[in-house]
Amino acid sequence: MNDDRLAIVVAKPRAQDVIDALQEEGVYDADRSVAEHGADAVAIPVTEAPETVAYREVVQQVGQPRLRTLEDHLRERGWTDEELDTAPGSWAVIGSVVLVDIGDAPRPEEVGAALLTMHGEADTVLARGPISGTHREPDVEVLAGEGDTQTVHREHGIAYGLDLAEVMFSPGNKAERKHMGDTVRKGERVLDMFAGIGYFTLPMAAAGAEAIAIERNPTAFQFLLENAMRNGVQDHVQAYRADNRDVLAEGLDSFGEASTVDRIVMGYYDATEPDDEGGYTYLDPAIDALAPGGIIHVHEATPETLVFERPIERIEAAATAQDRTVEVLDTRRVKGYSEGVAHVVVDARLE
Residues making up the annotated binding site are 170, 177, 215, 243-244
DSSP letters, 250-294, are H-GGGGTS-S-EEEEEE--TTTT-B-TTSSBTTHHHHHHHEEEEE
DSSP character at residue 119: -
DSSP letters, 14-27, are GHHHHHHHHHHHT-
Identify the CA nearest to 15 among candidates 213, 135, 155, 125.
Answer: 155
- What is the sign, positive or negative, of the torsion defined by CA atoms of 11, 12, 18, 19? positive
Q: Phi then psi for 115, rounded to 5 degrees?
A: -65, -35
C-alpha angle 212/159/129, rounded to 5°? 90
Residues making up the annotated binding site for S-adenosyl-L-methionine are 170, 177, 215, 243-244
Identify the CA nearest to 147 among candidates 164, 123, 114, 168.
Answer: 123
